[in-house]
Structure 1
Amino acid sequence: MKLKLKMFMRKFWTAEETEIMIQNYPDKPTVDMIKLLPGRTVSGITGQASKLGLHKSEAFMKSPMSGRISKENDIGFDTRFPANKPGWNKGLKQKDYMSPEKIENTKKTRFKTGQDPHNTQPVGYERLSKDGYIEIKVRHLKNGDSNNKNFEFKHRIIYEKNYGLIPEGMIVEFLDGNNRNFDPDNLILRTRKENLLQNTMCDSSIVKRFLGIKELEEVEKIINEMPKLIELKRNLLIKKQKLNGHN
C-alpha cells in the first residue's frame, strides 16, 4: 500500500524550479530544460509553462532551435531536391537500386491487377451530395473521374423507372419541396427556366432578394409572421414578369 501511495504522490513545483522556468524556458528548447529540472518530463514542463503563462521568445522562434522553417531559418535546405533536378532514381528500373530480397518484400503490399481499395462501395450504395440530394452508385468505372460518373441522383432514377427517359434540358423537381419524398407522384418535370422562376418565387428567396433580409433567423421570422406581405410581393413579381413577357 505504501508503495502505491508513493507512486501516485503529486510532485509540486518548488519556488526554485519556478524561477528556473521563468529564466530559461523562453529561450531554450523544452527538451533541454530536463537537464535543469531533474525528475521533470517534457509534458510536465510544457504544462507548467502554460500555467505560468510562459511562451517561447520571438528570437527563439526565429532560430534553428525552434525547428520551424522561416526566411531566417531555412531548415532542410542541404537535403532538398534542387529546382528542376530529377530524383536520383529517375529513369532507373526497380532492380537497378533494390536487391531481389527487397523487391520480393514489396510484393506483399502491392495492389493486385483489378483490385479495388478497401473503401470501395458496391453498386446500389447511397450517399449525400454537397447540395443535399441523395445519389446512388449505378456503375463501377475505375478510370479518371469515374467516382462522379458512377453516381446518379436517386430522384432522377426513380422518375425514369416510372415515367421513362428524362427529355434533354429538363430537370426533375420535388412537388412538395421535400427532397426526401421519392414518391413518383411527388416528382415532376420542369424546364430550367421554370425551375429558376420557382426558386425565385419561393418564400425564402422573396425575403432574401426582394426584402433585403439575409440573416436566417430573421428570414424564418418574416416567413412565419408576415405571410401576407410575402404573398403580396410574389403577386407583384408575377404580374411584372407577365407584363415584361407581353411587351
Structure 2
Amino acid sequence: MERHIWNEEELEFLREVYPYYPNKEIAEMLKNKFGFEVTDKQLANARRNNDLPKKVILNSGCYKKGDEPWNKGREMSDETKEKVKKTWFKKGQIPKNHRPVGSTRIDRDGYKLIKIAEPNKWIVYSRYVYERAHGEKLKKNEAIIFADGDKTNFAIDNLVKVSRANLLYLNNKKLIFDDPELTKTGVNVSKVVEKINKLERKED
C-alpha cells in the first residue's frame, strides 16, 4: 500500500477519534468518510509523526496502566459524535465477531485454542483436555506436548505433561518424534537430566 499524505481535515478527524476507538474501527471510519484505506502501521506512523493523543482504550499496548489520558475531563465534540456514532456499540449489544464460551480457533502457530470464560479468555486446547481428563490444574511452568508430534491428536495417551525445563531440553536435543514411544522415552531422559542438574546445584 502506498504512503498516505494526511491533510489537515483528515488529521483533525484523527485527533478526535483516535483516543476512543481501535485502529480497525478507525480504518473503517476513514474509508467511509474519506474513501481511502489505511493499515495499523500507517495509523501508528500518523500518531507518531503528527503528535496525536494516546488511546484511552486498550489497543495493542498503546495505553499503559498508570498513563493519564491527554483528554481527561474533556468530551468529544458534538460534531465528531455525530460523525462516528454509527460505529458505537449500544449497551448490551453483542459484537458481530463475539465468540461464545466453548468456541475453538487455531492460533498463528497452528495450536487449537478454546474459549473458557468471558470476555475473551482462551487457553490451549490440549491443556484443557488434559486437565479435564486427569482432574488437575496444571502449573504455569508445566506444558503439554503431543507424543506423536501431531497437534490435532487430542487422544489422552497422546498428551504428555512436561515441565518448561523438560520442554527446553526436548527441543534442544530434538527428542520429540512422530513415534509416541520414542517421544515418551525422550521425556523420561529429560526428567533424569533435570534431577541430576538439581542434585549438582545442591552440592554446589
Q: TM-score range by the shorter chain?
A: 0.3 to 0.5
Larger Rg: 1
Which structure features the higher share of helix residues?
A: 1
TM-score (norm 2): 0.47
